A and B are shown apart, each in its own frame.
Chain A
């Protein structure tokens, strides 16, 4: 079987200097993945947006203030030491979410989930959403739903799947054509293809020929400063969200602006200046 021949580690790098906060990725995700909507979506704490764009500011006052936008899909953590024990996967009591060692993608199976919401508590990125309501579409609108992603029922948790169905489709084509593996361009997520600024680069972090690998340059060795952290980027402009927790996310972010990179994690006073120039182990 294909995924046995080669182990992928799909991930993303998002250029926050290119991101304009336009929201195309959010909507593309919604329409690709049959995300429901309700009358009041302004309560962001119960509004299902697999891809959510956060607004960051540098906290300065007029006119020195700066803002940046940070798109946040599920971070697809590979967990402490990269062993696949993501914060959510390790806590799910019913194995409704698992870590695909062949793809590095964290799944969520709506029909297995019974809605205990432990995974939501465990996720520091708020990437997981609960279906508090039955999904309802205005008359006729259910006609645009895609059969590639199963609509969720009330009472279960859902989250970004990195458009796994697009991976499946690409593999089906590869099988049909008798190919062993899929091309970089054959599997791209809905947010990636939608971004009008081309801020999102998606691909296989394990494959040196893929753009995402070339930008991120993941460090094969654990971070000497924190044994739980693996695949730290060796690109000084690239960072991950809450890297210090050892969640080992596969969504990387890129920015020229130091304050933006600093916002990616938490630092004690003065700590940032010590660590800001540390980018993975010396190995090149």
Chain B
């Protein structure tokens, strides 16, 4: 008997046969496919009991009420809070994507200190001790005004705490980032006197004359504007949109009036001229300077002249004026795009003057002149000797832009330490590179930030803040609304990382400094502080999550509308012109799908951005085919302005005025988040600041530019 090939053949066949008649084959086939259905690297979300928390979103000044769906105590979805006075159930994409900020790759997870050009982890205790030490030295030097601070806004207890900290420290140098709110306050102050701000009753107006205000591009409180706009059809309310580009607002308006960039003020004054000429105005409350103003506009803003400046027909100006006057509840609103960057006081005042002339002030559907909300009552600040010294000092500048210019101009440091809270000037101010230079000139920069963004990168110490989902804070809404809602942000989960509420960080710091400063911050936690300072409304605030402070017009309605002071405009302040002498004008575009400022966008928001705005890493610039000589639609081009140049892609758009280039605002971030950063360019890099005399605002509405094929 010899073992030969065939024996092995038998062996093989036997084995195969044996396996075939066993369940192995069938089971393995099934299990291998089931394995692909449950790949261990595909996450399986944990199930559990469903619960809802309500809070407020403060990703933008809109401050909408939100409802957070939680499963097994994990937040899984953010939605608009039904019944909330501002947004009543609606929500914008940024708020809905809010959860992504919790786990943002660029979040600051612990306090950081800069060693060389790298950041190193450090404990809260050490960080605070270090900062306190630096600050103590400044005070020893006897020049406490050399501590400066930049925050995002002025309203609410947290900005007020920073204010209080500086006061107690002895420095007047508190600056806020440009915002629609500050522009409106400034306008109200200029035309109606101190302590006021403006609100616009969009829901009830029947003729809205918008000077580029992006009602559905994030102007004011976005969701409430969306709702007001959506209800127009039902109410038969008209919207005329005046701007160089067919924005979404212009697209849904009843009439789009294309106008040369930066000439909005001229058109507004031109319309004033027509109204005054036809004696179609109500002067009962006009105080100073109306006659001088009337003469000024008659001479300087005759329709014929304005038509030339703005690039529209004389007839149109008169038609618009006519319709504005004839309307039952006309309303003129200022603030190009989001009304945040590059706004001019002249423009705001000119546009609001239309409201004054037509006499809709504090009328239903009109413009409301409201007292700034004052629901906060802080105990009297205690100043020690050093603080007294600083208190006497002049503020270095009128606006954050001017402040930055001064820092750069100065030879040796005029500021020894700088706080930045919830602001990203190194990205969102015009020509950020100059802002970064300025920061380099400050020996010690402390950033109170949730994210390692462009500004935080420039800091020497970063104190990590809770996001709006992890913190407690009161957020008064204004943002051009006629109602004054104070909302309460409440934590929906424990801080994900080693972060603190800004208030707690300040209290911690004050305590470390001791002395009178500590006395000014004599609270155990920020929560206690909030309870104290909002004492008047705390109970209903903490119970309902918001308090509706009834609008407080300048005077009560029956006393008639507020006085109007024309002296500012009567002098016909000069209109800011676009810098440079290239043939085209580059204007930034505010796009609802991009936040444009602080914080940077969420991955979801970026995902919604059209490929007509961003392709791969290239930003797309809009140009009218008429002016696109030598360019190819979708092709590459080099965009040059007096302050910079950038590689871009071109998009032929019939919806933009010939001679104008449109570039979206909010791209081109440079920090470490591959889903959001290094996409396109930051339009602010290409635009230089233009400080408006009188207001100190950076009023650069755009800049001259040229574009060429590459």
Contacts and interface: CB of A to CB of B under 8 A. Distances in A.
Q: Decide if A and B touch, CB cutoff 8 A.
A: yes
Interface of A: 17-18, 20-24, 26-28, 30-32, 34, 37-44, 47, 49, 53, 55, 57, 60-63, 65-69, 111, 134-135, 137-147, 151-155, 190, 193-199
Interface stretch (B84-92, B193-201, B567-575): B84-92
A62 to B, nearest CB: 5
Interface string B238-251: 00000000101001
Given A28-B96, A55-B612, A196-B92, 17 more contacts: A20-B252, A21-B248, A22-B216, A22-B592, A24-B96, A26-B93, A27-B608, A31-B77, A42-B616, A47-B607, A60-B654, A65-B246, A67-B246, A111-B37, A147-B46, A152-B42, A196-B87
Interface string B505-524: 00000000000000000000
Contacts of B612: 55
B77 A146 contact: yes
Interface in B610-627: 610-612, 614-616, 624-626
B103 A140 contact: yes
Nearest to B673: A138
A31 B99 contact: yes
Nearest to A32: B77
Contact of A27 (B47, B75, B93, B496): B93
A15 to B, nearest CB: 9
Interface residues of B, number: 74
Contacts of A111: 37
A196 B80 contact: yes
6 A-B pairs closest in CB distance: A196-B90, A140-B103, A27-B93, A196-B226, A197-B230, A147-B47
B43 A151 contact: yes
B103 A49 contact: no
Contact of B103 (A42, A65, A141): A141
26 contacts: A20-B226, A20-B592, A22-B226, A22-B593, A23-B593, A24-B93, A27-B96, A27-B97, A38-B675, A39-B674, A62-B258, A62-B626, A63-B246, A135-B43, A137-B43, A138-B675, A139-B103, A140-B496, A146-B45, A146-B77, A147-B71, A153-B36, A154-B39, A197-B227, A198-B227, A199-B230
Nearest to A135: B42
Nearest to B612: A55
Contacts of B658: 62
Of the candidates B80, B93, B611, the one having the most CB atoms from chain A within 10 angstroms of its own CB is: B93
Nearest to B90: A196
A28 B605 CA distance: 11
A21 B247 CA distance: 11
A60 B87 CA distance: 36
A194 B624 contact: no
Contacts of A34: 45
B675 to A, nearest CB: 6
Interface in B562-618: 592-593, 603-612, 614-616
Contacts of A44: 611
Given A22-B593, A196-B91, A31 B97 contact: yes
B607 A20 contact: no
Contacts of B79: 28, 193-194
B655 A37 contact: no
Nearest to B625: A61
Contacts of B616: 40, 42-43
B590 to A, nearest CB: 12
B89 to A, nearest CB: 7
A145 B79 CA distance: 15
Nearest to B72: A147
Nearest to A141: B103
Contacts of B76: 144-147
Given A22-B93, A28-B96, A37-B604, A144 B102 contact: yes
